[in-house]
């Protein structure tokens, strides 16, 4: 009789544990489903109005993965609780279409006029790595020469007026006779940092949109002529997060600062960047031409789940969505990898193919699209 009571007690305790575990799993599922819904709202709510949602947008790929796991978990257990994750996934259908692509390349016909455009944040050609910066710069130039794009948009571009790092002169020797280099920061009357567009075709107009108090971010527009057709090229570098060495050490788990101090420092910088990009994209959108073929490329420092991406997508198509594949992540740093470099086109342009090339010459991967009109 005593053994039976012990067994009954243990079984009752086990049932209670299972019940509480299931309640905990369900509660966590509901939180994750609600968070995924918030990531959908992040696209349409301006961070300047409510910045918290932007963090959910940043976490979208991870939230989607977790909810897919919950969906299958409850289906396998034949529980109706799967509906929590199912509805949150359905509400993110647009977000999924922006983030993941199964596009296909199109065949180029014999006499079809095309233009190959590259966007590349070259991280100043690894300028501050004194032992290997020339090797990195030369590797990047060799890579560009091999891919031979017609137009290259650089972000974080560096060039000397005179000396071995006169990168403008080197690119001109490679066949990029026409260029628009906008210096956003200058030192010692010789060193220049900024945005640059290099073209094999003549440039007929240039413009610069300054972001106040930002040394490396901005927008340049460059109009080129290709066989009598005027094409606008927009090169954008939206607000950077500006992580410090201490922030990177924390991400690498080498920081001596407290966990709380690190987290608040990083979240604060992310929030400021979300808000600044909402102002910057408001300056960018009016530049998109409605009368001639327009290509917008750059380092947007924002994912497809963001307000800035969604704002641009209202009037332009993504080359990645049309001809890319997979997730197409472009960031190559220690922070979790996202697709933050983009190529957009207006409705005068057809995207023939799109490629993201994985190399380790910068903290960003280069992206290339071939287009026609």
The mean per-residue pLDDT over the stretch 321-325 comes to 94
The mean per-residue pLDDT over the stretch 148-170 comes to 96
Nearest-CA neighbor of 346 among 368, 319, 367?
319
The answer to whether the beta carbons of residues 188 and 211 sit under 8 Å apart is no
Same domain, 274 and 324: yes
Model pTM score: 0.90
**Bigger pLDDT: 90 or 163?**
90
Q: Residue 25 sits in which domain range?
A: 2-99
The mean per-residue pLDDT over the stretch 109-137 comes to 90
The answer on pLDDT for 6 being more than 70 is: no
The answer to whether the beta carbons of residues 297 and 229 sit under 8 Å apart is no
Same domain, 228 and 368: yes
pLDDT of residue 132: 86
Final residue belonging to a domain, choices 99, 131, 156: 99
Q: What's the chain's length in residues?
A: 373
Final residue belonging to a domain, choices 99, 122, 151: 99
In the chain, the percentage of residues whose pLDDT exceeds 70 is: 92
pLDDT of residue 218: 96
Final residue belonging to a domain, choices 82, 99, 116: 99
Report the mean per-residue pLDDT for the chain. Answer: 91
Same domain, 264 and 332: yes
Same domain, 171 and 240: yes
The answer on pLDDT for 4 being more than 80 is: no
Q: Which of 17-21, 156-160, 172-176, 302-306 has the lowest mean pLDDT?
A: 17-21
**Bigger pLDDT: 21 or 166?**
166
The answer on pLDDT for 308 being more than 80 is: yes
Same domain, 88 and 121: no
**Distance in angstroms (rounded) separating the CA atoms of residues 342 and 236:** 10
The answer on pLDDT for 170 being more than 70 is: yes
Token pair 């034949």 is found at 78
Same domain, 90 and 115: no
pLDDT band with cut points at 50, 70 and 90 for residue 163: confident
Q: Which of 97-111, 223-237, 291-305, 319-333 has the lowest mean pLDDT?
A: 97-111
The answer to whether the beta carbons of residues 16 and 10 sit under 8 Å apart is no
Same domain, 148 and 249: yes
Same domain, 241 and 347: yes
- The total number of structural domains in the chain stands at 2
Question: Residues with Cβ < 8 Å from 328, sequence gap 6 or more?
Answer: 101, 320, 339, 356, 367
Helix (H, G, I), strand (E, B) or coil at 173: helix
Same domain, 329 and 367: yes
**Distance in angstroms (rounded) separating the CA atoms of residues 298 and 153:** 7
Measured in whole angstroms, the distance separating CA 104 from the mean position of its chain's CA atoms is 21
Same domain, 254 and 294: yes
H or E, element range at 318: strand 317-318
The CATH number that applies at residue 288 is 3.60.10.10
Same domain, 131 and 55: no
**Distance in angstroms (rounded) separating the CA atoms of residues 237 and 217:** 5
Same domain, 161 and 214: yes
Helix (H, G, I), strand (E, B) or coil at 283: helix
In the chain, the percentage of residues whose pLDDT exceeds 90 is: 77
């Amino acid at each position: 009789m005593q053994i039976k009571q012990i067994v009954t007690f243990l079984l009752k305790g086990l049932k209670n544990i299972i019940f509480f575990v299931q309640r905990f799993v369900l509660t966590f599922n509901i939180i994750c489903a609600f968070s995924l819904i918030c990531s959908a709202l992040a696209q349409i709510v301006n961070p300047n109005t409510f910045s918290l949602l932007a963090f959910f947008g940043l976490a979208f790929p991870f939230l989607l993965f977790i909810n897919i796991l919950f969906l299958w978990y409850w289906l396998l257990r034949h529980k109706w609780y799967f509906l929590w994750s199912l509805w949150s996934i359905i509400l993110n259908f647009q977000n999924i279409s922006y983030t993941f692509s199964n596009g296909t390349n199109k065949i180029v016909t014999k006499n079809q006029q095309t233009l190959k455009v590259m966007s590349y944040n070259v991280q100043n050609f690894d300028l501050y790595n004194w032992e290997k910066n020339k090797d990195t710069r030369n590797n990047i130039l060799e890579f560009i020469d091999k891919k031979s794009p017609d137009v290259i948009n650089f972000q974080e571009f560096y060039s000397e007026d005179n000396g071995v790092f006169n990168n403008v002169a080197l690119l001109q020797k490679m066949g990029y006779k026409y260029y628009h280099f906008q210096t956003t920061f200058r030192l010692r009357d010789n060193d220049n940092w900024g945005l640059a567009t290099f073209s094999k075709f003549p440039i007929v107009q240039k413009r610069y949109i300054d972001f106040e108090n930002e040394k490396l971010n901005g927008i340049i527009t460059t109009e080129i002529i290709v066989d009598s057709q005027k094409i606008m090229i927009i090169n954008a570098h939206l607000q950077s997060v500006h992580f410090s060495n201490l922030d990177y050490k924390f991400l690498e788990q080498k920081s001596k600062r407290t966990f709380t101090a690190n987290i608040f420092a990083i979240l604060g910088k992310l929030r400021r960047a979300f808000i600044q990009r909402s102002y910057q994209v408001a300056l960018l959108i009016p530049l998109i031409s409605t009368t001639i073929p327009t290509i917008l490329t750059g380092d947007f420092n924002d994912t497809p789940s963001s307000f800035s991406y969604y704002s641009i997508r209202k009037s332009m198509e993504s080359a990645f969505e049309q001809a890319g594949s997979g997730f197409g992540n472009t960031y190559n740093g220690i922070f979790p990898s996202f697709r933050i470099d983009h190529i957009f086109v207006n409705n005068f342009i057809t995207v023939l193919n799109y490629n993201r090339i994985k190399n380790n010459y910068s903290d960003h991967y280069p992206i290339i699209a071939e287009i026609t009109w």
